[in-house]
Structure 1
Amino acid sequence: MDPALGPPEAMAEKRDELTPMMRQYHDLCARYDDAIVLFQVGDFYETFCGAAERTARLLEVALTSREDSTGEYPMSGIPIDNAESYIEELLEAGYRVAVADQIEEPGESPGVVERAVTRVITPGTLTEDELLAGDDNNFVAAIARGAGTEGDTAEIALALLDVSTGDFLATSSSSCEAIADEVSRFDPAEAVVGPDAPTDLLPENCMVTPYDETAFDRDRAGAKLSAYFRNPDALLASDAEIRACGALLSYAEYVRGGAHEGERGETADKAETEGDAPDDEDHHLEYLTHLTRYDPREYLLLDAVALRSLELFEPRTVHGRDDATLVGVLDETASALGGRKLRDWLRRPLLEPDRIEARLDAVEELMGAVQTRERLHELLRDVYDLERLIGRISRERANARDLRSLRDTLAVVPEVREELADADCGRLRRLHDALDPLADVRELIDDAVVADPPIEITEGGVIAEGYDADLDDLRGTARDGKQWIDDLEERERERTGIDSLKVGYNSVHGYYIEVTNPNLESVPENYQRRQTLKNSERFVTPELKEREDEIVGAEERADEREYELFCEVRREVAAEVERVQRLAEALATLDALVSLATAAAQYDYCRPEIIERGGGADSDGRVLEIEGGRHPVVERTQESFVPNDADFTDDRRLAVITGPNMSGKSTYMRQVAQIVLLAQVGSFVPASAARLTPVDRIFTRVGASDDIAGGRSTFMVEMDELATILREADENALVLLDEVGRGTSTADGMAIAQAITEHLHDRVGATTLFATHHHPLTELADDLAAAFTLHFEVEQVDGEVVFHHEIAPGAATGSYGVEVATAAGVPDSVVDRARELVAAADADTEPGDEATDTATASSDAPAAETAAATADGGDVPTDVAAELRALDLAHLTPVEALTELDRLKRLLEE
């Protein structure tokens, strides 16, 4: 616990001497000692003592002080009306926030106003629109270990909940790596972890929240699940899953203002002793109506490395364009619902050909029906975020405008249904049937809530005329009274002869008759003085006072009645939460399909042919044939793009790809993977034609990166990723390898690359694309039956390298590293020296000679042997030549290139 967040020590020592309000603050800090407590005082949320000093510094607000009989305390506050922006800053700084609201009006009861924590705001449990990204889920996770299991065979369960939408998922595995992959797939913002469960599965950006371990108890977790779902034992696959899901529900209730599970247990025990039943209904998540248990093996698996390498959601470079991602290209959705659905599909591409074909059928029909597709997109733009909307309604945090937003969305549904009335494919027909217009809910809101309601729901003007007779009577009374007052000014002017007489109202003194000082002699005897001003007097008559009481009383009772009626309407709408959620699912799916069809039409994508394993005409195994394939992101960011083919079968499953840097090797590999991924999402693909067998997993080892904080070099990170691939890949995987082995000596790097190639070919059998500058690897194609070579050819024109970006069979003739260094801006003196060294090496040994191979194998020879070789008359020591050929200049900074060349030069001079 952070001492600055718990009960202030100055208060704790003399709690009994504190004022009632400060005692409230102390007790709430003690209960929520892992959060900053924002304590409502009037129109502000205040903090005190150490928390005040911290929030004042973080939020850059004034630090003041409060003094009472027990001493002086630092104090800082933020306005309630603008609290979300400050809370967001606290969350970004790594804090949780407990919001303590006044739960009664001042004067309702004697003593201090009662306050209670109504919500705990944490990164993974956000429900406020201002703090949420509308186009993606915001998950909180729970990880639990099965009872009585230890070590590598222990079952680990993962539960995921989006508190804002009600999406609730669960899975489990005995493999920690499998659970880590699922965590990477969903990227939770926060996690609670059970006893003995591993925490190293979570990414660095995930906040780990300490939570009561009793919440993970099997019986308690099962009881919590039973309060939401019937027969959770049948719904979930294991005790570990029950523990994770139950604890996550408990935590979700806690952040809504409920008790810790341990506190609930104490309350329940006490209630049982006293004969009372504990009541958790106020914190029940009514909108949480479904729990989906899934098996990771039902979807194409993309681990954290693949997600980054393929740039699905974030660009690989820090300064990359936000839209330079796969989702940035595909996302033509019109609603937040559709945006989240599309991202979910990209996270979890399908494996089952029938499910893939069903999506492709829908995309194809929408792509061809241009007017229907465009009309649907236009209609879907008027769809509000129903999942989060019904969540707020169920949590009783929705205002009248939220209900009107729901009504406006429901008004669109009949038109959407009409556009799908003549759909041919089964997927679209099922969506048509699932689009429940909820006519009864729409009619209720239409009848009850005015078309343009105010934001506040307690100050009147919310409920429509004619909805409630009692409310209409109260409004009529107030209206008649105001009309009487409107007529009073004219009557009194005529009666008194005072032309300047005015009738007015203010919130302090109520209604009054104002007469200026020169006319005071004409004031009637029945006028009673109410207020004296500098130039006038204000009066009241017994009749005016009676009318005022009648009007104000009617207005107050009308406001109270409106609030009661609004709450009743909101509860009636909340009772239809499951229907609204089913409608939201249908609209989200339709929006995602329209988006895929729109992207396909705009960018000239083709429908892929999905081949079941063993179902191809030319093969009884895998098929991956792409004609004119293009990288979906790169082609959108470049003025021109050169398409390329790919052809893999069981007999041609490992491609060794060579060519200079910048020629297109990495782009080609990624585009093959992205085309496969898109096809399994159910999308059309950027190609002239594509036929493929679904893969179970995509592995990538692309790009150089280190982990300085973790103490791992670039080479160590590379080896870790390779170890995962070699351990987990099988014949149903797609593997991308780029420049494996470059972080060590030439001989070691070449040896590792060759051993990996042989292992993938002989033992794994995965479809593999291996880009390399180790040109001897191309000779493996002659020795490995299912291996073949591809290369990107270039030509030199007037001393400059021209890249054609076209792939062709066979091996490249050179790396053109020096030429690429020239294009990168390496100083001429360095480049010229490099050319001299390359020319000397080429004169000494021709590529492919036995001497060259020997030199490559012995590139780690001591410097003394190098010097001896030079002394014997050789122009360039063979190990220097080999190292020079192996230099990957495109991945070196100018300073690194200079350092390498200086090192080689010193070897020559020894």
Structure 2
Amino acid sequence: MAKVKETPMMQQYNAIKAQYPDAFLFYRLGDFYELFNDDAIKGSQLLELTLTQRNKHSANPVPMAGVPHHAAQNYIDILVDKGYKVAIVEQMEDPATAEGMVKREVVQLVTPGTRMRTGADAAKENNYLVAISGTEPVYGLSYADLSTGEVRATTLNSTNAILNEIARLETREIVTDSELAEDLLANLTNLGILISHVSTVTRSAEISYLTQQLSGEEAQTVAVLLTYLFTTQKRSLDHLQLATSYEIAQYLKMDRNSRANLELTVNLRTQQRSGTLLWLLDETKTAMGGRMLKQWLEQPLLDQMQLEARYDKIGAFLKDYFNRAALQDALQQVYDLERIAGRVAYGTANGRDLLQLRNSLRQVPAILVILSDMDTAIFGGLVAHLDPVTDIEQVITEAITEEPPISVTDGGIIKAGYNQQLDDYRDIMKNGKRWLAELEATEREATGINSLKIGFNKVFGYYIEVTKANIPKLDVDRYTRKQTLVNAERFVTPELKVHEQKILEAEAQSSQLEYSLLSALREQIKQNIARIQSLASTLAELDVLQALATVAENYQFVRPEITQNNDLDIKNGRHPVIEKVLGHQAYVANDIMMAADEQIQLITGPNMSGKSTYMRQLALTVILAQIGSFVPADAAKLPIFDQIFTRIGAADDLISGNSTFMVEMAEANTALQNATKDSLILFDELGRGTATYDGMALAQAIIEYVHENVHAKTLFSTHYHELTTLDQALPKLRNVHVGASEENGQLIFSHKVLPGPADQSYGINVAKLAGLPTAVIDRADTLLKMLENQDVAPSTVATVSPTDVTPTPEAVPTDQQLDLFATAVDQATQTVLLKLQTADVANMTPIETMLFLHELQQELK
């Protein structure tokens, strides 16, 4: 079969596409971006475009779809949101002057991790691109937000640590180098996140400068990250900040499951922010403050001095309502300085962006006055970093008009008086058009033709038009004929052509000069980006502090006291999010007390009574205290915890082939393997995903292991009432229960946590509340009475001494089963049951199993 001959344009397209095989190619043709071949077919489906064909009458037409260039950003955003890359191909020369094919190049590769998100919905969200390098046992992980210029790096020693950090950063794209181990790459691929690769790491002066504070694997992973950024963006990225190092050990550790279970930033049910701790706390007035608040929430501190400093500032704002209100008013007029700086460096900032920068800088003097009226010892450090960047504010005021257009190439951006040449051009345009009006009036009077007019078109320029009926009135040599129309003649004069030249040149040169002046101004601002970013960080911190003070005032939070002796004492603690939903009056507060030598609270009580709420509110109180916030209680004494582990709720991981119970055991194992005496563990209904005695045995063994080996503060809720006797053998365990009572057949919850074990689970009562059919409830009640009358001795479960953490055979009675139909059985039946109980079914083949069952059937006949 003869090879299809390609046109020069398609040759150019295919050559560029070969360099970007994993991206949609937006190929500029005039006023459209076109997609061809497979890109067109798939793009038409994803973007709901009409699929057409190029060379449709040929033997091999080319699939084609296009979008207008002015609307392209919307389509690019759709593709990137779906996890695809988009390569933007622009015309690099004027088609009118180009010889042969117009030169075209990829000017930017837009990817999920490099997208400059600007919408209101993304204002308080970072968009992190993550890079990973290294081999076991030392991996490097770095991340950057291209829109703000933030770059950070750390080293990690396990796949789980990497996965936890990726989850924390909510990354949508991961970059790796060629050295990354295959097993780790497989784990990353299973996350469903776009994986990009850098085959060769660039060594440049810019990368060396940005990584100057790093060494080893941290410097390597940032080099991978920056190589990818420079390769894809193909432009100056002067807003990127010096990469800084951080240690996971500097912050309170929470694995991805614990973060999800506690709903810090994402609601488990809706996957939205509403109903989360962040939702409650976010009283910030700026986009920068909103992002910083989220960062604080994701990385609670371990350093008491830093925490006390934050408490001091929040306390000062809490006491001084008027200065706090004045600060809020000023912050509301501050735009997103970090992202404006990013657009300036990127070369995409327009006149309106610069006015937003100017208006933001104008708030700084007022903020300095507010802080000077407060305690200098508390706010002095922040005041020192509040640089008003006055010189930039002044030059923007002098240069930019008050109502600039969105476009940066059509003029109307620069103020009159800023540049003499521009003023001259504008004067020519203004006076030239006035001159034309005067010329028209003069010629009408001189010729006596009142319908004579001066017009303009792009082909002939300015002209004098006279209708054919009036041609006899003209002197033969007065004008030079230019164009003949059906009903009129058009003329020019030497004087008209001279003014035409001046006007058109002024219009063209004016727009070019304005763009040049704007570019120079952006370059001047670019030289001060570090100052603007420092100011932005300080304003964001002030915003977070005032927000936390506002929350403390609105919800009656108090300053926590950090204890050194591992003592935990919370008076009338509340779950802040649930309290916001229910209202302060409806929420039932609870004390949470664990003395220095108390390790485990075993919590019993009916479903729906509030056990999980009680557990979660402790974790949220700890997190609030360790981000430097006041906490929801009447009083609170807390140690500093190094880690929080949670096993709450029922969830499976079908993609990885793990059942609910397997996930439960895996999360429990994470806690047992990694927790220390300074950790907090929350185990909710552990062991319920398997048979009764299996679950009970595992629950007891885990409690004993925590008590004897881990020594962490632990809340363990359970329905296994048999475990409540453990307090007799484990001295650092205490029973508590959530109160409930039955009145006239109805279950009444007190939601109050009381000392001692619960007397029963009230499971059937809860089922009744859920609306199960009466027949089901009655039958369950009958069966419960039968079970309670059987001779089952649950007290034998809790017989392990505190020095022996291995369950004894007596602790797990394997020879007893709960019999729902307690009837007498004969010897033959007992023999069959014994054979069934002791058979190794797991190791039988299907045929052996069938023969075994057939044998048992024969014995029973």
TM-score (norm 2): 0.90
Q: Distance in 2 between matches of 1:628 and 1:851?
A: 34
Return the offset for 1:847. Answer: 8.2
Q: Distance in 1 between matches of 2:798 and 2:322?
A: 65
Q: 2:42 aligned with 1:54, yes or no?
A: yes
Q: Distance in 1 between matches of 2:18 and 2:356?
A: 40
Residue matched to 1:75: 64
Residue matched to 1:684: 630
Change (3 A) 1:326 1:868: closer
Deviations 1:179-217 (A, max 9, x none): 3322222221110123234235548555242323322xx
Given candidates 168, 171, 174, the residue that maps to 2:157 is 174
Q: 2:733 aligned with 1:787, yes or no?
A: yes
Given candidates 90, 100, 116, the residue that maps to 1:111 is 100
Return the offset for 1:87. Answer: 1.4
Residue matched to 1:251: 228
CA contact (8 A) 1:90 1:97 kept: yes
3-state SS in 2 of match to 1:211: strand
Deviations 1:227-265 (A, max 9, x none): 434xx3xx2252x222211011000111103xxxxxxxx
Change (3 A) 1:624 1:852: closer
Change (3 A) 1:822 1:516: farther
Residue matched to 2:852: none
Residue matched to 1:4: none
Q: 2:197 aligned with 1:211, yes or no?
A: yes
**Greater shift after overlay, 419-428 or 639-648?**
419-428
**Matched residue count:** 812
Return the offset for 1:600. Answer: 1.0
CA contact (8 A) 2:173 2:196 kept: no
Residue matched to 1:436: 387
Matched ranges for 1:324-335 at <5 A:
324-335=275-286
Q: Distance in 2 between matches of 1:60 and 1:521?
A: 61
**Greater shift after overlay, 492-501 or 245-254?**
492-501
Indicate the percent of aligned positions where both proteins have the same amino acid: 41
Q: Distance in 1 between matches of 2:748 and 2:319?
A: 40
Q: 2:582 aligned with 1:638, yes or no?
A: yes
CA contact (8 A) 2:83 2:194 kept: no
Change (3 A) 1:851 1:297: closer
Q: 2:210 aligned with 1:228, yes or no?
A: yes
CA contact (8 A) 1:356 1:681 kept: yes
Residue matched to 1:262: none
Residue matched to 2:847: none
Given candidates 157, 161, 174, the residue that maps to 1:191 is 174
Return the offset for 1:641. Answer: 0.7
Q: Distance in 2 between matches of 1:179 and 1:63?
A: 42
Return the offset for 1:502. Answer: 3.0
Given candidates 415, 420, 435, the residue that maps to 1:464 is 415
Q: Distance in 2 between matches of 1:427 and 1:413?
A: 18
Q: 2:623 aligned with 1:623, yes or no?
A: no
Given candidates 500, 505, 516, the residue that maps to 2:451 is 500
Return the offset for 1:607. Answer: 0.9
**Greater shift after overlay, 631-640 or 740-749?**
631-640
Q: Distance in 1 between matches of 2:188 and 2:324?
A: 41
CA contact (8 A) 1:327 1:343 kept: yes
CA contact (8 A) 2:725 2:798 kept: no
Q: 2:90 aligned with 1:101, yes or no?
A: yes
Residue matched to 1:120: 109
CA contact (8 A) 1:165 1:387 kept: yes
Residue matched to 1:483: 434
Deviations 1:300-350 (A, max 9, x none): 1121111111101111213x7642000000001111100100000001001
Return the offset for 1:688. Answer: 0.7
Q: 2:494 aligned with 1:542, yes or no?
A: yes
Matched ranges for 1:669-818 at <5 A:
669-818=615-764
Given candidates 10, 13, 19, the residue that maps to 1:31 is 19
TM-score (norm 1): 0.85
3-state SS in 2 of match to 1:660: coil
Return the offset for 1:625. Answer: 1.2
Return the offset for 1:422. Answer: 2.0
Q: Distance in 1 between matches of 2:152 and 2:122?
A: 20
Return the offset for 1:549. Answer: 1.3
Matched ranges for 1:280-319 at <5 A:
283-318=235-270
Change (3 A) 1:483 1:347: same
CA contact (8 A) 1:365 1:425 kept: no
Change (3 A) 1:128 1:504: farther
Q: Distance in 1 between matches of 2:248 and 2:560?
A: 24
CA contact (8 A) 2:51 2:65 kept: yes
Change (3 A) 1:72 1:785: same
Change (3 A) 1:520 1:824: farther
**Greater shift after overlay, 645-654 or 197-206?**
197-206
Q: Distance in 2 between matches of 1:807 and 1:789?
A: 10
Matched ranges for 1:338-357 at <5 A:
338-357=289-308
Q: Distance in 2 between matches of 1:866 and 1:559?
A: 89
**Greater shift after overlay, 23-32 or 488-497?**
488-497
Return the offset for 1:658. Answer: 0.5
CA contact (8 A) 2:334 2:360 kept: yes
3-state SS in 2 of match to 1:38: strand
Deviations 1:733-753 (A, max 9, x none): 110000000110000000000
Q: 2:575 aligned with 1:589, yes or no?
A: no
3-state SS in 2 of match to 1:466: coil
Residue matched to 2:837: none
Q: Distance in 2 between matches of 1:200 and 1:588?
A: 38
Unmatched segments (≥5 aa) in structure 2: 800-808, 827-832, 834-860
3-state SS in 1 of match to 2:537: helix
Unmatched segments (≥5 aa) in structure 1: 1-8, 258-282, 614-620, 873-878, 880-909
Q: 2:554 aligned with 1:599, yes or no?
A: no
Q: Distance in 2 between matches of 1:92 and 1:479?
A: 47
Return the offset for 1:517. Answer: 4.9
Q: Distance in 1 between matches of 2:303 and 2:518?
A: 47
CA contact (8 A) 1:735 1:769 kept: yes
Amino acid at match of 1:636: K
Q: Distance in 1 between matches of 2:492 and 2:159?
A: 80
Give me the CA root mean square deviation.
2.7
3-state SS in 2 of match to 1:709: helix
Return the offset for 1:521. Answer: 3.6
Deviations 1:336-385 (A, max 9, x none): 10010000000100100000011111111111111111221121111111
Matched ranges for 1:640-679 at <5 A:
640-679=586-625
Q: Distance in 1 between matches of 2:797 and 2:328?
A: 66
Q: Distance in 2 between matches of 1:849 and 1:448?
A: 84
Change (3 A) 1:430 1:850: closer
